[in-house]
Structure 1
Amino acid sequence: MPETQTEINKCVEILENGGLILYPTDTVWGIGCDATNEKAVEKVYQLKQRHDSKALICLVANDVMLEKHVEQVSDLAYDIIDLSTKPTTIIFDKPRGVAKNLIAEDNTLAIRVASDKFCKYMIGKFKKPIVSTSANISGQSTPKSFQNIDSAILKGVDYVVNLHREKQNSSASSIIRLANDGTVKIIRD
């Protein structure tokens, strides 16, 4: 695992300096940055050519980090996280401690507890949540493999992780909206 550790260290260095990384996630290749850094989040929106009213997903390393950035994590949320057979992103009410331009207009944030080992270790070492958005220009299709990533994205990030580039990624995560009042809505299956 020395190469993995080297990649993690490089990513953490870039993230700490407000830079963007391109990295393999538990779903598709993602563009990431420090989810608590408003300027870094703005760079992601610019790179994707996406309006910042369209919210981004955030990855955390574990339940403890999740609880730190959400006012209320229900038992149902833990059940979904523990029992899901595929990566599942949950939209939570009242996020806290993240960049303001990452929070949707209705005061929600989409968060996924990373299941990919590389992501878990990297986020754990960074000690803060990171943005995770598909590695494509807004409106274009999500690349299914590293080879399909647009050159504008590759050139627009500060670091490209040199692991799992041969991996054919499955699909985007499921997205479920869990309101604090108990309302559940499936956004993307």
Structure 2
Amino acid sequence: MRRLIVSSFVSLDGVIEAPMTWASPFFVGENVDHALRALSNVEFFLLGRATYEMFFARWPGTKGPYMDRINGLKKLVASTTLKTVSWNAALIEGDVAEALAALKRQPGGDILKYGVSQLDRTLLSTGLVDEYHLSIVPTWVGQGKRAFDDVGPIDLELVDINRFANGVVTLTYVPR
């Protein structure tokens, strides 16, 4: 069975919005190596419409071991408004939870989603999220969308910690 993993950068003040503007200086060296290893068993990259549009505008032209791996993954886009997608992507048609549950029951690699979004409300309420990987970045952002703002109350159990020399800590949680 596949796992569904949600991964996100989180600033010290809880911001997850626009991590390209504040997390990039910390996404170097051992952090990139760790992220690349985390992609080793990923087969699908799950995105909501807004994240798909944001990433598609930048990422297909970006090169390097990490981005080559991301760009090569099969993408699944959850959207009720998009009619077509590209970048090795397919639209999830119909009930997102039902489609993902069916995919999770099949043998194969994991499903990875970046960022904590409104889609997580559906994923959590249907028991589809297996793990959260939250990379706490030692910086203060000040304003922006906070982690789990649009998800609601959540109960997680800490199961692993990875520390990095630059102060980033990646915490792995599973829903209780």
TM-score calculated relative to the size of structure 1: 0.28
Higher relative contact order (CA 8 A, sep 6+): 2
Structure-2-length-normalised TM-score: 0.29
**Which structure shows the higher strand fraction?**
2
